[in-house]
Amino acid sequence: MASTVQVPPPPPPPQAPPPRYRRSLSGPIVLISIGTVFLLGTMGVLNWSSLGHWFAHYWPVILIIAGIIKLIEYQAAQRQGARASGLGAGGVFLIIMVVICGLIATQASRFDWGELRDHIDVDDSDFSWFGQRYTYNDQLAQDFPAGASLHVTDSRGLVNVSSSDGNQIHVTVHKRMNAESQSDADKWNAGTKPQITVNGNLVNLNANNEGAGDHGVGIDLDISLPRKASVTVNTRYGDVSVLGRDGDVQISAQRNSVSASDINGKVSLNLERSSARVSQVASDVSIEGRANDVSIEDVKGAVHLNGEFMESVRLAKIAQEVTFKSSRTDLQFSRLDGDLDLDSGDLQASDLVGPVRLTTRSKDIRLLGVAGDVRLQDENGSVELRMTKLGSMQVENRKGDIEIYVPDNAGFQVDARARGGDVETDFDALKIDNSNDTATATGTIGSGGPRLVVNNEHGTIEIRKRSSAAEMPTPPSPPSPASPKAPRAPAAPKAPTVSEN
């Protein structure tokens, strides 16, 4: 039998080598471009602020260029039969970073940084990245018409007004700015020259802060002019001081400190988160808006306060009517011979002349040496009244005690009711009933006279002789201000206190 011969199978065909990956050039190109830009910036060839402006507006171009490079690499790989490289983890991370940084830069470029800078009271020179600081000084002088008034506009800078002899206005200009170069500073200085214009009986002094466009330029003005002239000052950022005026003074200020002293005319302040100190005024004083600390002393006229007062109000020696109105407190009386101190939780005063009208809440009230009628309403606070001359009285309170001290020999009528509390008195002639949920005190002392109507809810009522009151220190007087000096830049802001009077 013939043997069978097995034929070996043919060898498998050789396999083609796997396609090679082409290295991407996008990464090196991006690194080279970034390095070149930073090199030019450190050498001073490129301006950093301009570079940031370009990136904020045109950063998507980086993604477009990177995409074009990847597309060209893909087509070249296809022609050569090679496989184009993908993005990889590094490429994805780079794209994400470019998008995030670009979006942040775009939003930052649209933000009003000047408004934020004004709000937190910082100056360009406080931070080195705003450029190098440059200062310039200048002098202005010209005749001031008899009977004219001055109007000052300075959106960023200190304003100091004082009196002078003669019939001229003199202005000393102190200018400060931050710029990348001397040439930029010189250009902005030339564009922000303060200007004095005369239109009939009105003299306008414009600091011209906006002449440099978006570049912040601080311009301090020291102004001296005839004492008889009235003065109006409008400022947005910078302290204001006015010393020695026979005419009226009007000041509009935001986020700064205002002082006015030795004024024979009226003083009118419109404040926005600003503090004020006013003293030695021969006429009326009025303040409105949103104020922080307010101190007013030695005023021969009336004082009117209307707005929101975030920290404290201090008054002393006001010869005529005082009115105070806010969303929380409504106060009015005829004269203040002593002191008054008002903050978010307390109201203390001495030597008030009535009639006194007070409506408030959540305050402890302590009025010493009150003469005349009293109408008082409070809640969530204690009330203490010490009368020197008794008038008709109506006092209402909730969730707080009431103490009333009257002259020992005074004659008066009493109708007092305390729901959820007791009534106590030093006057034996009053009929007291504390047996029920509502305690009462009724009766007539002496020959009668003014009527005292006192109502309290969830608190006691005490009607005492003044001689039985323990002597307690009166509220301290505000310190007498020295002669105002040229204002200084505000200190770094404190954490805001969320409270209103």
Pairing of strands 240-245, 257-263: parallel
What are the structure tokens assigned to 40, written together?
């030019």
Phi-psi region of 19 (alpha: psi -120 to 50; beta: other; left: phi over 0): beta
Sorted by sequence, the CB contacts under 8 Å of residue 354 that are 6+ apart come out as: 333, 334, 370, 371, 372, 373, 374, 391
Closest CA to 377 of 402, 391, 358: 358
| Cα 176 from Cα 450, distance rounded (Å) | 65
Q: Can you tell me the distance from the alpha carbon of 125 to that of 136, in angstroms, rounded to the nearest whole number?
A: 14
**Cα(235)–Cα(254) distance, rounded to whole angstroms?**
7
Task: Provide the 10 A C-beta neighbour count for residue 226.
Answer: 21
Q: Which whole-number Å values give the CA distances from 432 to 418, 459, 497, in the listed order?
A: 11, 16, 45
Nearest to 297 by CA among 487, 493, 484, 494: 484
The tokens for 410 are 């005074």
**Contacts by 205-209 with C-beta closer than 8 Å and gap 24+?**
205/150, 205/151, 205/152, 205/153, 205/169, 205/171, 206/153, 207/152, 207/153, 207/154, 207/155, 207/156, 207/157, 209/154, 209/155, 209/156, 209/157
End-to-end CA distance of the chain, in Å?
Answer: 126
Nearest by Cα to 339 from 232, 476, 195? 476
Q: Could you give phi then psi for residue 423, rounded to 5 degrees?
A: -120, 130
List alpha helices for 85-216, DSSP H. Answer: 88-110, 113-119, 182-191
CB-hemisphere CA count at 13 Å for 279? Answer: 15
Tell me how far apart the alpha carbons of residues 493 and 216 are, in angstroms, rounded to a whole number. Answer: 20
What is the model's pLDDT at position 20?
54
Structure tokens at 222: 């020291």
Q: Taking Cα atoms as reference points, which of 301, 169, 303 lies closest to residue 229? A: 169
pLDDT at 472: 46
Cβ neighbours of 42 (radius 10 Å): 10
Q: What does the pLDDT profile of the chain (501 residues) look like in tens digits?
A: 455 555 566 666 655 555 555 556 666 676 777 777 777 767 666 666 666 767 777 778 877 877 787 777 777 777 776 666 666 676 777 778 878 888 887 877 666 555 555 454 444 444 444 568 899 999 999 999 999 999 999 989 999 999 998 899 999 999 998 887 888 889 889 989 999 999 999 999 999 988 877 777 899 999 999 999 999 999 988 899 999 999 999 999 988 899 999 999 999 999 998 999 999 999 999 999 999 999 999 999 999 999 999 889 999 999 999 999 999 999 999 999 999 999 988 999 999 999 999 999 999 999 999 999 999 999 999 999 999 999 999 999 999 999 999 999 999 999 999 999 999 999 999 999 998 899 999 999 998 899 999 999 999 999 999 888 765 444 454 444 444 444 444 444 444 444 567
Judge residue 374's burial from the number of C-beta atoms within 10 Å of its C-beta, 0-12 exposed, 13-18 middle, 19 or more buried: buried
- Cα 296 from chain centroid? 19
| Alpha-helix runs per DSSP H in 43-125 | 48-58, 60-79, 88-110, 113-119
Q: What is the pLDDT of residue 23?
A: 59
Provide the Cα torsion 267, 268, 272, 273; round to 10°: 30
DSSP notation for 292-333? EEEEEEEESS-EEEEEEESS-EEEEEE-S-EEEE-SS-EEEE
CA distance 188 to 302: 45
Provide the token pair at 248.
């009226």
What are the φ and ψ backbone dihedral angles of 478, each rounded to 5 degrees?
-60, 145
Using a cut of 0.85, tell me whether the model's pTM lies above it.
Answer: no
